[in-house]
Amino acid sequence: PDRDRLIACLPKCELHIHIEGSLEPEMVFSLARRNNIPLPWDSVEALRRAYAFGSLQDFLDVYYVGMSVLVTEQDFYDLAFAYLRRAHADNVVHVEMFFDPQGHTSRGIAFDTVVNGLHRACVEASESFGIRASLIMCFLRHLDEADAQRTLDAALAHRDRIVGVGLDSSEKGHPPEKFAHVFGRARDAGFQLFAHAGEEGPPDYVWQALDVLGVRRVDHGNRALEDAALISRLARDRVPLTVCPLSNLRLRVVPDLAHHPLRHMLEKDLTVTVNSDDPAYFGGYVNDNFSAIARALDLSPAEIVTLARTSFSAAMMSDDERAAAL
């Protein structure tokens, strides 16, 4: 339909993508073969059948096994380059890419191996087809703060190649305040700050992300709508929310997309963007997310244009870079 043609031709930024979540089942199997890594599934089809998730934790259990096939610098390069090429095909011009170093260092992969491969893909994709891409490392919130502190120590040697730190993985029971000290250190070291909050966790976790961690943007933020004072705060400070419709559907954060809170977020003047989260696992890249939510909520062309434009205001970009991109 016309709506999908509009979506396809709009320039966009992708601000919520876990690069390990762009690992397609075929690549899981080809890298497993290349690196001699055993898998609990005997075919691509069996792996796809495992993508029936009842919750965030169900997904994470598969996600951490999937990423275990990533071993060499070339693996990380191949993963990120394939994603950036795919994003470019969706008219994504700027990417702020999450990665999970602890998902790799915990398996004995060196921090440098991960960053070297991902960074080289960002540089070469930019040279090859002009996409801009930067790296944000996330702390796994189910691990303790001391583990995050050691991860930050390792990142300091790559300060010029990692623009920010975020917080992801199992949300419930792991409030942002658990990471207050390490986020303080990251801020002092000059990193931009982000956190997943209000995906499954309560509005209080969104407050903590803002007031304890001091994040510049909230990833998901769906449950902020349960708290009127929080909505006012997010609107007043124009805190962007990086919303991921197909992720919310597949992880049962919403029963169906017709009940997705994005329409209410727009009505309340929140700064909302549309993103893919873990596209290989959730059934679509960024344009698929735009199409699915636009159709379910019957978004107008003007609303679709607003969502794409907002991705630029929510991005880490100078005004000059923004003007050049638009």
**Binding-site annotation: residue ranges for substrate:** 278
CB of 190 to ligand ES4, least distance (A): 24
Considering the candidates 199, 200, 303, 321, report the single residue annotated as catalytic. 199
CB 70 within 8 A of CB 22: no
Closest approach of ligand ES4 to the CB of residue 310, in Å: 20
Say if CB 205 and CB 219 are below 8 A apart. Answer: no
Q: Which does 56 bind (CB under 5 to 8 A by kind): Zn ion, ligand ES4, none?
A: ligand ES4
Residue with tokens 């703060």: 145
**8 Å CB contact between 67 and 100:** yes
Closer residue to ligand ES4 (CB): 178 or 196? 196
SS3 153: helix
The binding track of 129-168 with respect to Zn ion, each residue x by CB under 5 A or -, is ----------------------------------------
**Dihedral, 150, 153, 157, 162 alpha carbons, nearest 10:** 80
- The residue with its CB nearest to ligand ES4 is 168
Closest CB to Zn ion among 222 and 271?
222
> CA distances (Å), 65 to each of 39, 41, 60, 182, 278, in order?
8, 10, 9, 27, 14
Q: Of the two residues 68 and 169, which places its CB atom closer to ligand ES4 in the complex?
A: 169
Instruction: Identify what 21 binds: Zn ion, ligand ES4, none; CB under 5 to 8 Å per kind.
Output: ligand ES4
Q: Is 199 a catalytic residue?
A: yes
Answer yes or no whether residue 277 interacts with Zn ion by CB under 5 A.
Answer: yes
CB 300, min distance to ligand ES4, A = 28
Q: What is the DSSP letter of 9?
A: H
Q: Which residues bind ligand ES4 (CB under 6 A)?
A: 18, 21, 56, 63, 168-169, 196, 199, 247, 277-278
Partner from Zn ion, ligand ES4, none contacting 151, C-beta within 5 to 8 A by type: none
- CB count in 10 Å sphere of residue 216: 15
Torsion of CA 252, 286, 261, 235, to 10 degrees: 140
Query: Rounded to whole angstroms, how far apart are CA atoms 171 and 4?
Result: 33
Contact of 283 with 24, CB cutoff 8 Å? no
**Residues that contact Zn ion, how many (by CB under 5 A):** 1
CB of 223 vs ligand ES4, minimal distance in Å: 13
Select 282 or 312, whichever has its Cβ closest to ligand ES4: 282
The token pair that represents 12 in the structure block = 């966009």
The residues annotated as belonging to the active site are 199
